[in-house]
């Protein structure tokens, strides 16, 4: 663990996040030295991914304990706490990499829709999206529709793909490009978004790679549904505070 971070989310930033469902602090998450270590770890995972596509490297922390040094670090949890409260669990993480010219689009979706039934509520789950590479509109950075975290679940349709993560999308042409906020990020900086907000990304049409490390956290006052089939073997971890939801935290 590290000493307490100075990069604390201000009350004004927390209010913006609550109102809009996202936040762009435009500052590094880790020191240069610590970020470079994470970058090296990612490159190892990319090289050793086997048959997985570069954007399918979900839950790498389950096979690489080095990632907990980042996922449970004070500088990360200090950012999360003002947004979801002091009782915090680690839900998941993932490397999402779009290779130059070939990285496919990420369909418009709400993270919470993929987890329907796995918690009793989704109003206390947030994701840090850390830019392992620079993210631009040309290489497929993420975009969100502000305020849609208050709308409830959208209607979904199957995409007819064998992608291990993104195989459903919001129905129809319901996304107005004029409403989008694009998350263009410098390498090492990060964004935050509510699990309920509509977001997605275009294909990578550039000559540069785009990679993010997603780190997802939940308020442990929420109740993890132990009877849900997808939760049977799910591992969730204690990051900080109490556990009023009596969740099976590691």
Domain extents in the chain:
11-240
**pLDDT at 166 (0 to 100):** 76
pLDDT tens track for 105-150: 888 999 999 899 999 999 999 999 999 999 999 999 999 999 999 9
Question: CB-based contacts of 97: which residues, under 8 Å, 6+ apart?
Answer: 46, 54, 55, 57, 103, 132, 209, 210, 211
118/231 Cα distance (integer angstroms): 7
What pTM value is reported for the model? 0.92
38/30 Cα distance (integer angstroms): 10
Considering only CA atoms, which of 167, 88, 98, 178 is closest in space to residue 128?
Answer: 88
**pLDDT at 171 (0 to 100):** 84
Displacement of CA 38 from its chain's centroid (Å): 16
User: What CATH superfamily classification does 11-240 receive?
Assistant: q2cbj1_9rhob like domain (2.60.120.620)
pLDDT tens track for 47-79: 999 999 998 999 999 999 999 999 999 999 999
Share above pLDDT 90 across residues of the chain, in percent, rounded to a whole number? 81
Phi/psi of residue 210, nearest 5 degrees: -130, 120
203/93 Cα distance (integer angstroms): 22
pLDDT tens track for 18-32: 999 999 999 999 999
Residue 195 near residue 122 (C-beta atoms within 8 A): yes
């Amino acid at each position: 663990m590290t000493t307490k971070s100075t990069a604390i989310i201000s009350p004004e930033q927390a209010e913006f996040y609550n109102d809009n469902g996202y936040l762009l602090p435009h500052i590094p998450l880790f020191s240069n030295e610590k970020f470079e270590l994470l970058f090296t770890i990612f490159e190892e995972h990319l090289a050793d991914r086997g048959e997985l596509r570069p954007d399918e490297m979900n839950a790498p922390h389950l096979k690489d304990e080095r990632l907990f040094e980042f996922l449970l670090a004070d500088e990360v949890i200090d950012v999360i706490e003002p947004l979801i409260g002091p009782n915090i669990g680690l839900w998941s993480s993932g490397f999402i990499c779009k290779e130059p010219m070939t990285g496919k689009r990420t369909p418009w979706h709400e993270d919470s829709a993929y987890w329907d039934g796995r918690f009793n509520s989704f109003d206390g789950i947030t994701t840090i999206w850390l830019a392992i590479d620079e993210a631009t509109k040309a290489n497929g950075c993420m975009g969100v529709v502000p305020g849609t975290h208050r709308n409830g679940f959208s209607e979904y349709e199957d995409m007819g793909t064998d992608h291990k993560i993104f195989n459903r999308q919001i129905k129809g042409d319901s996304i107005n490009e004029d409403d989008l906020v694009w998350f263009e990020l410098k390498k090492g900086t990060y964004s935050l978004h509510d699990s309920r907000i509509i977001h997605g990304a275009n294909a990578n049409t550039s000559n540069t790679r785009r990679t993010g490390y997603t780190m997802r956290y939940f308020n442990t006052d929420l109740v993890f549904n132990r009877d849900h089939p997808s939760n049977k073997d799910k591992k969730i971890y204690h990051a900080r505070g109490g556990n009023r939801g009596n969740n099976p935290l590691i």
